[in-house]
Structure 1
Amino acid sequence: MKVDWQPLEQEFQRWRQQNLSLKLWWRDDDAVTQTKELDRLTRLSDASGLPVHLAVIPKFADASLVRHCAEHSEIIPIVHGWAHANHAPADQKKAEFGHQRADLINDAERGIVRLRGLFGDDLLPVFTPPWNRVDAGLLPQLAGLGYKALSTFTPRRAPLAARGLAQINTHIDPIHWKAGGGLVEPDDIVAVVTANLTARRKGKTDNDEPLGILTHHLVHDEAIWAFTESLIKTLLDGGADAVDLRKSGAILP
């Protein structure tokens, strides 16, 4: 795979000239069990030095996943909704927590309660709604359930999603979901990342928010794996600092 990283590398040169720094974090969604794909994700995390914040589906998480996370400190479990079930009206985009319903708050609570029971203190209480969609009315309730942060997609509008609840989003997704899977054209992803950094450098978006890579290890093909590895290396070589949200007291409340 040939990728033209030059636009991104040139943008990093501008960052260095202005003495700017970039924090980088990694979120991977839809984990429920230990698999060969999770093993590969773990090896990539270990080799790169970038921890993975693993969004675990609480209803279906099993003991093998708990063991895997306990054995690999670079894999950090967070909460991925409750059952990854679509409750959206038929004419709207998929969402588990994107619309008001009777069990909305109960399901958010069940998610954190079950994963705390499985992972104990290893669980990082970040709420990651499936499909990255969440009803605004739920946000003020999340801190009271024990959540410290909310993570969706695209640059955040403010550091807090609600009182006591940080907003820490993701910004780069290499999967071409609209085409049914596979890798987005690599040069298009490079353009998106470069534009994100340019907006941060110019003060148009919040550079205090770590730049987030979003992956889904269970559906990666070889091209996605290869590009993800190259992207992480390019960002870290460019000067980005790897972020472990467990150790970032200034980021979480």
Structure 2
Amino acid sequence: MADWSPLRRELALWRDEGRDLPLWWRDDDAVSVTPALQQLAALAERLDLPVHLAVVPKTAEPSLGDTCGAAAHLVPLVHGWAHRNHAPEGEKKAEFGYERTGLREDAAAGLARMRALFGDTLVEVFVPPWNRIAPGLIPDLAPMGYRGLSAFTPRKARFAAPGLVQINTHLDPIHWRGGGRLVAEETLIADLVALLRDRREGRTDAAEPLGLLTHHLVHDDDIWRFTERCLEELLEGDARPVDLRAEMP
């Protein structure tokens, strides 16, 4: 049984100092309505915490738009275009991480299709697959119609480019190189405490919503259990739920 007391002690320091801890939840790779998505939606409703679905535009099914429209706690975001790896040989996987022909056209196509599928429920946040984005693409996103950018690790500044808010994720419980199992819970708790301490001590941006990143399609029972417990601990420690529908300028 994992020991959550280090997190509880850190959260107590936040409360004692009167600090605000905004919390958001992003879940990647949605394309259709599945039992796993229904489990995700039920958990979000029970916790009263919106889950922001990074939806793959090219393969998204229309029924997903209907489901998000009817579920108050499901918030769609734009997950690139086709979730296809375009990285040069020998480089880390990325769809938008390197300059290439069609880079900007694919980003624009993703937004257009998501608007068609989700209408007013869409929040125009670009989530690059594998959390990698070519620096030269970033200034072009706001002119396309995007309002935000979300990747991984603490942001350097609130705005990634003029008109483009950056709100990243910070904790991923999946051990991708270890067969997709849950990272050791003690490690995850220690990482979470370190993230909070860095914010509290001024090394990273404490105003950026703390982001949990999940992938419902590959969760096993251990990952589901950790996700629920982690979010419960944070919310019980007075973390403030964030809905990007209200957060984006």
Q: TM-score category by the smaller chain?
A: over 0.9
| Secondary structure at the counterpart of residue 58 of structure 1 | coil
Give a deviation string over 1:126-185, Cα, whole Å, max 9, x none: 000000000000000000010000000000011111111001000010000111201000
Match of 1:243?
A: 242
Match of 1:154?
A: 153
| Secondary structure at the counterpart of residue 76 of structure 1 | strand
Match of 2:51?
A: 52
**Residue 57 (structure 1) shift:** 0.2
Within 5 Å, which residues of 2 pair with 1:96-245?
Answer: 96-245=95-244
**Residue 67 (structure 1) shift:** 1.5
**Residue 227 (structure 1) shift:** 0.5
Amino acid at match of 1:189: L
Could you tell me how far apart the structure 2 residues matched to 1:171 and 1:228 are? 14
Amino acid at match of 1:8: L
Gaps of 5+ in 1: none
Give a deviation string over 1:39-74, Cα, whole Å, max 9, x none: 000000000011001000000001121111111011
Give a deviation string over 1:4-53, Cα, whole Å, max 9, x none: 10100000111112111100000000000000000000000000011001
Could you tell me how far apart the structure 1 residues matched to 2:37 and 2:16 are? 38
Within 5 Å, which residues of 2 pair with 1:29-44?
Answer: 29-44=28-43
**After the TM superposition, which parts of structure 1 deviate over 2 Å for at least 4 consecutive aligned residues?**
none
Could you tell me how far apart the structure 1 residues matched to 2:153 and 2:201 are? 17
Match of 2:11?
A: 12
CA RMSD of aligned residues (A): 0.6
| Secondary structure at the counterpart of residue 213 of structure 1 | strand
Could you tell me how far apart the structure 2 residues matched to 1:212 and 1:164 are? 21
Amino acid at match of 1:81: G
Gaps of 5+ in 2: none
Within 5 Å, which residues of 2 pair with 1:49-88?
Answer: 49-88=48-87
Q: TM-score, normalised by structure 1?
A: 0.97
Comparing 77-86 and 171-180, the one that deviates more: 171-180
Q: TM-score, normalised by structure 2?
A: 0.99
